[in-house]
Structure 1
Amino acid sequence: MSLKVLVVDDSSFFRRRVSDIINAAPRLEVIDVAVNGKEAVEKALSLKPDVITMDIEMPVMDGISAVREIMASQPTPILMFSSLTQEGAKATLDALEAGALDFLPKKFEDIARNKDEAVNLLQQRVQQIASRRALLRRAAVRPVSKPQSVSTSRAALPRVEPTTNVARPTAAPSPRFRSTGKSYQLTAIGTSTGGPVALQKILTKLPANYPHPILLIQHMPATFTAAFAARLNSLCQITVKEAENGDTLQPGVAYLAPGGMQMMLEGRPGNAKIRIIDGGERMNYKPCVDVTFGSAAKTYQDKVLSMILTGMGADGREGARMLKAAGSTVWAQDEASCVVYGMPQAVAKAGISTEDLPLERIAERILVELKRH
């Protein structure tokens, strides 16, 4: 059975172009199009597509507002199309925060070496995020307990139920984490699709006095990483910056690898510096998790706490293998909480990761691991 796709864009040319590419895939079918955000919300409710592709800038209702309304009423995997500009970066990050799962630039040639590669990439992204539809719908219908009103009016007081002997079901307590007792000098996190939201959820829970530096490798275009680092820095207690060549690693600072480049380390622990080099034409990922993880393994040996988060493909597996061989710790995000269970699955299947963790508890697990007894 084909996956149903709703294409949303105010440009008739782009609607046709995207529709032709999607319809060329055996398992994909464009069931309708919409020319603005308002129409997208209406058709999402009536047609219940498996995936929506969404432009950001549209008349009547913009894409970000449409994403918020769709995720509130008819949660659906949404792939955003954006321009590779600073304004486009900010808007795309807003869309991801609103609930969109992934994004692609409107100029496919910016992310692909040829037309065939661009076509395959779009088709693959649509099929990948479609797998999250059921999870989004289940999360939407899950009952959420509402906080009691502070008002003292009679209408606001909760109704008191008569006491009975009927046992009420209680949620099973989450398992408690324990530190392994290992000593660390560096944290390294690699991710791709779904990573911006995942990183925000983790980093915003870390204290300002985090004991060592953090390396962040997120697959992202060059014009996006500076905006993403600035956003994280405004939200977090730790400092977050786009890495620059020659940066000396400092405790409590997270360094985001710049898009289109590779981030490596040189020097010794305690005085290590960041080296930013050209991304390289042959490299599939710029930045590449394998490159940074491998460099961290050589510099910090067994003193790295590393993790692979949600993302497509297997980038990070070989770098994580080098870290494990050096004696460092490797964790992976669990399948249920990933937007795309590709990169974490690669390290888990290879037997490299020692723990598979739900996104919501990764920060907690990090802080327990670093706690001194």
Structure 2
Amino acid sequence: MSIRVLVVDDSSFFRRRLTEILAADPELLVIGTANNGKEAVEKAAELKPDVITMDVEMPVMDGIQAVREILKTQRVPILMFSSLTHAGAKATLDALDAGAVDFLPKKFEDIARDKGEAIEVLRQRVKAVARRRLFVRPATTATPPPVRPAPSALARTPLARAELLRSTERTEPVEAVSSANFRPSGKQYKLVAIGTSTGGPVALQTIITALPANFPLPIVLVQHMPAAFTGAFASRLNSLAKIEVKEAADGDILRPGVAYLAPGGKQMLVEGSDSQAKLRIKDDDSPRITFKPSVDITFGTAAKVFSDKVLAIVLTGMGSDGRDGCRLLKQFGSKIWSQDEASCVVYGMPQAVTSAGLADAEVNLADVASRLVAEVGHG
């Protein structure tokens, strides 16, 4: 059964090009197009697509408002397309706050090393976010469905979205997922390391904004994100969080209560000793490294500096970046948490870690912050 896509963009050229790319995949079917946000809202209600691709800047109604309006009446994953500018970054982050699940740059060459790879990344991203909707769609039974929060709650805040996922989508219990059942291990830590990709901006905002101002450890954050976006994203997190959040700079000394976001297009390495650790930001043109920044690289270098004193968390994302870094952390004796499937936009990265037997716990997104505070508070 094909994944049904609604393409929304005010550029007729981009609509046509995107339609051609998606239609060439037998698993994808473009069922309609719209040239502004108002038309997108109408077409979404009429066609009930499995996924929507949405431009940010459009006449009549922009993509941000369109996302809000669509999510008031239906739960459909929306993938934003954005220009790689500071203004484009801010608008895209606003769209994610409104309820969009992920974004891609409008220039396809910015998402991969060559045109063919970029096209494949685009198709896979559309499929991944669409499958999220297929996963959460309730089964048809004779029993009336449970009462759920209004769909607009999904668009209000990342935390509301996570709570909604936790309360309505988990079909089978996962051991020790609930914060109420959580018992801290008593292990000592000196660093928290978090890696994520697709769906990560919302997940990170959910966690970071829930941490107290006196959080006792430094945090390194690796989010697959273009260079034009990481500065704006770090600034947004810093404005919302009680702890300090900054885009990491070369030579930064790791300080308690500060979260360091890896710059897009570069690699973030941890160097020094566990009592005086610092960050090294480097360009990396190695063809073997797909992601810049890479979770594996940051996690791997953290393992060498902090040994068994890292609590690493792998959140929602496509692919398996983070698995090899977690394997090295595990060999040194550090702890690994992975986000559970029910609360992921895309279960790829956490699944890779869990399937490799590296995860000490699977945690619902809505529970990560409270468990994190409880765990490191007993260090």
Q: State if a TM-score over 0.5 links the two structures.
A: yes
Change in Cα spacing, 1:85 to 1:141, as seen in structure 2 (3 Å) is farther
Residue 137 of structure 1 deviates from its aligned partner by 5.6
Report deviation, 1:144. Answer: 3.4
Instruction: Give the structure 1 partner of residue 302 of structure 2.
Output: 296
**1:17 counterpart = 2:17:** yes
How much has 1:174 moved relative to structure 2?
Answer: 6.3
TM-superposed CA distance for 1:281, in Å, is 4.0
The amino acid across from 1:82 in the alignment is S
1:151-205 deviation digits (Å, cap 9, x = unpaired): xxxxxxxxxxxxxxxxxxxxxx864210111000000000000000000000111
Query: For residues 66 and 302 of structure 1, what CA distance do their matches in structure 2 show?
Result: 47
Q: Secondary structure at the match of 1:198?
A: helix
> What pairs with 1:187-226 in structure 2 (closer than 5 Å)?
187-226=192-231
Report the CA distance between 1:287 and its aligned residue: 0.1
The question of whether the paired residues in 2 share the 8 Å contact of 1:105 and 1:111 is answered with: yes
**Cα deviation, residue 143, structure 1:** 2.6
Q: Structure 2: which amino acid aligns with 1:273?
A: K
Partner of 2:240: 235
Quote how far apart the aligned CAs of 1:279 are: 2.9
Calculate percent identity across the aligned residue pairs: 64
Give 1:270 shift.
Answer: 2.0
- Aligned match of 2:329: 323
Q: Which residue of 1 aligns with 2:354?
A: 348
Corresponding residue number in structure 2 for 1:60? 60
Residue in structure 2 matched with residue 26 of structure 1 by the alignment: 26
Matched with 2:374 is 368
Q: Which residue in 1 is equivalent to 2:70?
A: 70
- In structure 2, stretches of 5+ residues that fail to align are 139-144, 151-177
Alignment match, 1:311: 317
Distance 1:104 1:324 in 2: 33
Q: How far 1:135 sits from its partner (Å)? A: 5.4
- Name the structure 1 match of 2:252: 247
Instruction: Give the C-alpha shift of residue 371 in structure 1.
Output: 2.7
How far, CA to CA, are the matches of 2:213 and 2:275 in structure 1? 19
Q: Secondary structure in 1 aligned to 2:213?
A: coil
Q: Deviations over 1:230-284 (max 9, x none)?
A: 0000000000000000000100000000000000011111211110011324120
Residues 1:339 and 2:339 aligned together: no
The one-letter code sitting in structure 2 at the alignment partner of 1:365 is R
Q: Is the 8 A contact 1:221 1:260 kept in 2?
A: yes
Corresponding position of 2:6 = 6
Question: 1:150 — aligned with what?
Answer: none
**Unaligned residue ranges in structure 1 (runs of 5+):** 146-172
1:200 partner SS:
helix
* Partner Cα distance (1:194, 1:32) in 2: 25
Q: Quick one: distance in 2 between partners of 1:19 and 1:203? A: 37
Amino acid in the other structure paired with 1:103: F
Q: TM-score, normalised by structure 1?
A: 0.90
Q: How far apart, CA to CA, are the structure 2 residues paired with 1:15 and 1:297?
A: 45
Structure 1 residues 25-174: aligned runs within 5 Å: 25-134=25-134, 142-144=147-149
Quote the residue 1:185 is aligned against: 190
- Amino acid corresponding to residue 248 of structure 2 in structure 1: A
Moved over 3 A (4+): 134-138
* Letter of the 1:366 counterpart: L
Kindly name which structure, 1 or 2, has the bigger radius of gyration based on alpha carbons.
1
CA distance in structure 2 between the partners assigned to 1:225 and 1:254 by the alignment = 13
* Equivalent position amino acid for 2:20 in 1: D
In structure 2, what residue type is equivalent to 1:187?
V
Partner amino acid for 2:283?
D
Return closer, same or farther for 1:86/1:6 CA change in 2, 3 Å cut-off.
Answer: same
Decide whether the 8 Å contact of 1:269 with 1:299 is kept in 2.
yes
User: Is the 2:179–2:367 contact (alpha carbons within 8 Å) kept by the matching residues of 1?
Assistant: no
Return the offset for 1:367.
1.3
The alpha carbon displacement at 1:72 in A equals 1.2
SS in 1 for 2:72: helix
TM-score norm. by structure 2 comes to 0.89
Cα RMSD, aligned residues only: 1.5
> How many angstroms apart in 1 are the aligned matches of 2:203 and 2:324?
22
Residue 141 of structure 1: CA displacement? 7.5
CA pair 303-26 structure 1, distance change in 2 beyond 3 A: same
Alpha carbons 1:76, 1:136 under 8 Å: kept: no
SS at match of 1:143: coil
Deviation at 1:288, TM superposition (A): 0.1
